[in-house]
Structure formats: structure tokens, C-alpha cells
Amino acid sequence: MKSVLLDRSTISLPDNEIEALWSGLDQHTSYETTDHDQILQRCYEADVVFTNKVVFDKKCLSQLPHLKFIGILATGTNNVDLDAAKELDITVKNVSGYSTQSVAQHVIGSMIALAQGHHFYKSDEQHWPNSPTFCRHSYDGFQIAGKTLGLIGYGSIGKEVATLAKAFQMKILIAESFIAPSSEKQRVPLPEVLSQSDFVTLHCPLSDFTKNLVNTAFLRQMKSTAFLINTARGPIVNELDLAVALKNNIIAGAALDVLNQEPPSKDNPLLNLNHKKLLITPHIAWASLESQKKLIELARLNVDDFLKNHS
């Protein structure tokens, strides 16, 4: 069988740690990135394709006669037309659970950074030599102990974030599910979560229920001293509404690891805001070396299962 990896640059591991993906397959080719108009040429003879974010629509899939398996090197499957793949008898397998600890760690780190001002003081350090005293008070820091963390989405990552937050003596509020409001005593209505939380962190999937969930109405229900954290999906947040809310002190700040468009355009309203309590990272919450290694291991198991069932 012939295989191809279409977006090698999305994984930062060295080649020798990625090669396990195609071990046992007859031929393999890797590309750093792949544009949509390059897919047919690069995949035409492939039986197995590995990709992270390259989009396979119905038209594309129907023109790949040898394709039998798509291994998605991520949790989300929205880049592949799953119905078309099923019609064409193409197996599609994603990977889940590989980055739970990494993303949870990033969320806690973001809260600490916003509380302490780590990111701000890095850019402010050149002013310290001119300070009249031993310290320089240019950021209003605070403790996260005793603060309330509101979780929107309570899957494996949400649960891990809650576990870590409790170790910092934070109070936890879990919002009701959008699809089926829970009767569990630990769940509370979203408006209560927003009005009581000092940090609101998003861990819900992108869906019709959650697209543009965070808009002006949502943000106005939050405390003016509260912070928003998004490590889920960019389109859950209306970026223009958030930019306006930050500019007008509707909320205190935000930490975003995902944006609507990735990479973002240079005119993104958040990138140009220059807000000292806005922390933006380039979709790297998932990408600890340990998580990437686990991703490759689990993706390889998906290939092994496929080969066993089609030998």
C-alpha cells in the first residue's frame, strides 16, 4: 500500500518519531503543506492518506480511486466529508484523548498568566531599571485561589481542567449541556455560570448550538472583572464582539489559543487590539511533545486496525 502525509509541518516531532505512522506500508511520501489544488496529484495513487487539516470534500474524494483510509491527525473531523467517504467505502479515523493533559495545563497556565501578568511584564521589563523602588507595579495581579471557574463543556478536557483548578483552591461551576440540559446537581444554567465566574473556559465542540456562542449578549452576562479562555474552536467566539467588549471593559481580559481563521489575517480585530490583558497563542495548547507522541501512537493503532480488517 502507498501512503502520503499531506501536512507534515503541523507536527514538530523529528522524522524518526513520525515514521511509525507508515511503518509496514510499501511506499510513503511526505509534504510539509498541501493546498487544495494539489490534493489530487499528491493522493491519486495513495491507498492511505494522513492529514491534520487538509480538506477533503465529496468532489475530491470521488476522484481518488485508490484511496481506502484517511487517518486524521487530530480530534476534529470537519475537514472530511464523512458522508461522501462512507458512500465511497473510505475509512476515516481520527484520534482523541491524546492532548487532554496538555490542553488542561495550557488553560491553567493561561489563568495564571492573566492573574500574574507574565506576558505583560515580559514586554515591560525594559522599564524596570528606571523604577524608583525594587518592584514595578504596572499590572494589577491577583490570586486565583478562591476564584470561581466556569466550565462550558465537560468532557475529558473539561474534567481535567476542573481537577487542576481545584488544586489551586478554585470553585467550579459546570454549565448545562446545550443539547440535553442535565438533571445532575452539579450542572447549573449558563446564565448563572456567566454571572458568577471569574474565569469562563470553553471546552465544547463547534456545532450549530455553539457557533458564535460568545457574542455581545454572552459577554454582557459576565462579570466586568472576568476573563474568557478559549482552547476549543475559534468560531465559538464572535471575534468582533469580543474585541469591542475588551475595548469597552465589558470583561477584563481573555486568553485565546484558537481563532476563527488559522492562520489569522493581519486585520483580525483581536490581533490589533493592543490590550494588556489579552493573551493570544497560535493554536499550541495541544502540542506538547508528549501529546504529539501520543497522537502518532494512536494514529498508528488506527492504521493497524484498518490493515487487519482489510488484509
Amino acid 24: pLDDT? 79
Residue 36 confidence class, pLDDT cut points 50, 70, 90: very high
For residues 255 and 235, membership in a common domain is answered with yes
Amino acid 199: pLDDT? 98
Under 8 Å between Cβ of 146 and 140: no
Q: pLDDT digit string (tens) for 217-253?
A: 999 999 999 999 999 999 999 999 999 999 999 999 9
Q: What is the CATH number of the domain that holds 129?
A: 3.40.50.720
For residues 90 and 213, membership in a common domain is answered with no
Residue 183 confidence class, pLDDT cut points 50, 70, 90: low
For residues 94 and 149, membership in a common domain is answered with no
User: What would the mean pLDDT of 205-209 be, rounded to a whole number?
Assistant: 89
For residues 196 and 266, membership in a common domain is answered with yes
**pLDDT surpassing 80 at residue 120:** no
**pLDDT surpassing 90 at residue 25:** no
For residues 167 and 247, membership in a common domain is answered with yes
Q: Which residue has the higher pLDDT, 230 or 118?
A: 230
% of the chain at pLDDT higher than 90: 79
Query: In this predicted structure, which of 92-96, 186-190, 234-238, 248-252 has the lowest mean pLDDT?
Result: 186-190
Among 106, 119, 203, 233, the active-site one is 233
Under 8 Å between Cβ of 69 and 43: no
For residues 156 and 269, membership in a common domain is answered with yes
Residues 6+ apart with CB under 8 A from 201: 107, 149, 150, 151, 152, 158, 161, 228, 229, 230, 231
**Strands lying side by side in the sheet with 171-175:** 187-188, 171-175, 148-152, 199-202, 227-230, 253-256, 278-280
Residue 222, burial from CB neighbour count under 10 angstroms (0-12, 13-18, 19+)? buried
Q: Which domain holds residue 270?
A: 100-280
Q: Which residue has the higher pLDDT, 150 or 27?
A: 150
Among 19, 118, 283, 297, the active-site one is 283
Amino acid 128: pLDDT? 79
Phi, psi of 297 (to 5 degrees): -60, -45
Q: How many domains does the chain have?
A: 2
Residue 151 confidence class, pLDDT cut points 50, 70, 90: very high
- Average pLDDT of the chain? 93
Give yes or no: 17 in active site.
no
Give yes or no: 118 in active site.
no
Residues 6+ apart with CB under 8 A from 7: 31, 32, 33, 34, 51, 52, 53, 54
For residues 167 and 200, membership in a common domain is answered with yes
**pLDDT surpassing 90 at residue 69:** yes
For residues 273 and 136, membership in a common domain is answered with yes
Among 87, 125, 262, 290, the active-site one is 262
For residues 39 and 20, membership in a common domain is answered with yes
For residues 129 and 170, membership in a common domain is answered with yes
For residues 74 and 147, membership in a common domain is answered with no
For residues 92 and 104, membership in a common domain is answered with no
Query: In this predicted structure, which of 170-174, 176-180, 285-289 has the lowest mean pLDDT?
Result: 176-180
Query: What's the pTM value of the predicted model, to 2 decimals?
Result: 0.90
DSSP of 246-258, one letter per residue? HHTTSSSEEEES-
Q: pLDDT digit string (tens) for 241-291?
A: 999 999 999 999 999 999 999 999 999 999 989 899 999 999 999 999 999
Residues 6+ apart with CB under 8 A from 236: 202, 204, 206, 210, 211, 212, 213, 214, 230
Give yes or no: 233 in active site.
yes
Calpha distance 126→88 (Å, rounded): 60
User: What would the mean pLDDT of 48-52 be, rounded to a whole number?
Assistant: 96
